[in-house]
Amino acid sequence: MNDLNKFKGLFSALLTPFNKDSSVNFEAMEKLVEFNLENGIDGFYVGGSTGEGLLLTNEERKATFKCVAEATKGRATLIAHVGTLHTDAAIDMAKYAESLGYDAISAVAPYYYGFPLESITGYYNDIANSTSLPMIVYNFPNSGKFALTKDVANEMFKNEKFIGIKHTSSDMFALQQFKQLDREIVVYNGFDETLLSGLAMGADGAIGSTYNFMGKKFKKIMNDFKAGNIDEAIKGQNEADEIITEMIKHGVFQSEKAILSEMGIDMGECRKPFLPITDECRASMKKIAEKLMSE
Ligand code: MN9
């Protein structure tokens, strides 16, 4: 049996910094990991949507897994996102993550073709059965035509390798349902702007992009929630959401890179076809970064 406790808590969906020529900036990535750990982050989700994993080559994805494993040195729980359309490539990445000592693998459901359910569950089983690592299903309905349901999850989770769901959706009823499966699993809230509602519906933790620079703020929200200080928790969520609202206007990942660059970590731009960071975005995020650093 897997110990689920190490999978609970606040996990950063780690951003991937790029150099000017758009190659991965590993030095900045190490700094970002350290910065996250200083802010109390419990674990990292590497190479997901936020990490621009699907815009990296498979070799680059593996190199980022290695960089993060070496930078954390066992100080955080590590989840490698290996999702891609090509099953064997996903398996190759999963095996590599296993060799690096990762704690779990995760994958978004195969997208683009509108695969039938049997293909999707087959894909997950193929990857999950290829290593000794547990699997966390990345449920992100906006990324394709597939939204996980309780019944499908119950079927999938008959395979003991499956231990959790990263629920990137505002459907809080679905999140609640995932906590009622036939056996206990870990459920992560996936949209940071709804963390508090996710916790209220039973989430064990959260995986998100804004924790890269608002780790302390969100840790406090979680602790306030656990302690029953709901008014304080709502206040914290409102403060965070004011920032996220501004980020959404300018592009979430561009804004996050602009904020962290202001905080002293050279994040560079997002990879094409993401658009460059605009001057308006930089100016707005500079103010947000200054405010966060003064807190
Ligand atoms: O991994 C992230 N999801 C996506 C979680 O980027 C699709 C979230 O953290 C969002 O970036 C964040 C802003 O909408 O909630």
Nearest CA owner, ligand 1 atom 14 = 191
Is the backbone peptide bond immediately before 276 cis, with ω within 30 degrees of 0? no
96 counts as catalytic: no
**Ligand 1 centroid to residue 106 C-alpha, Å:** 16
Cα–Cα distance, 89 to 92 (Å, whole number): 5
pLDDT above 80 (res 222): yes
Pocket test for ligand 1, best of 81, 191, 207 (most atoms within 8 A of CB): 191
Residues in the ligand 1 pocket, defined by CB under 6 Å: 13, 48-50, 168, 190-193, 207-210, 244, 252
pLDDT bin (cut points 50, 70, 90) of residue 180 is very high
Q: In sequence order, what are the beta bridge partners of 205?
A: 9, 188
Q: What is the mean pLDDT of the chain?
A: 97
Cα–Cα distance, 283 to 230 (Å, whole number): 33
**Ligand 1 centroid to residue 147 C-alpha, Å:** 16
**Ligand 1 centroid to residue 292 C-alpha, Å:** 19
Q: Which atom of ligand 1 is nearest to the CA of 209?
A: 9
CA atoms within 13 A on the CB side of 159: 22
CA distances from 159 to 27, 75, 128, 210 (A): 38, 29, 9, 32
- Give the model's pLDDT for residue 39: 96
- Which tens digits make up the pLDDT trace of 98-116? 999 999 999 999 999 999 9
Pocket test for ligand 1, best of 108, 165, 209 (most atoms within 8 A of CB): 209
pLDDT bin (cut points 50, 70, 90) of residue 3 is confident
Residues 62, 166, 217, 220: which is the catalytic one? 166
Nearest CA owner, ligand 1 atom 5 = 208
Q: Which atom of ligand 1 is nearest to the CA of 210?
A: 9
Residues 45, 123, 138, 211: which is the catalytic one? 138
CA atoms within 13 A on the CB side of 28: 21
Cα–Cα distance, 47 to 49 (Å, whole number): 7
- Which tens digits make up the pLDDT trace of 31-51? 999 999 999 999 999 999 999
DSSP state of 145: S
| Closest alpha carbon to 12 in 273, 215, 171, 184 | 215
Pocket test for ligand 1, best of 211, 252, 256, 270 (most atoms within 8 A of CB): 252
- Give the model's pLDDT for residue 109: 97
138 counts as catalytic: yes
Please report, rounded to a whole number, the percentage of residues in the chain having pLDDT higher than 70. Answer: 99
Kindly state the average pLDDT of the residues 153-170. Answer: 97
- Which tens digits make up the pLDDT trace of 15-26? 999 999 999 999
Q: Which atom of ligand 1 is nearest to the CA of 140?
A: 7
**Ligand 1 centroid to residue 269 C-alpha, Å:** 17
Q: Which atom of ligand 1 is nearest to the CA of 142?
A: 7
pLDDT bin (cut points 50, 70, 90) of residue 1 is low
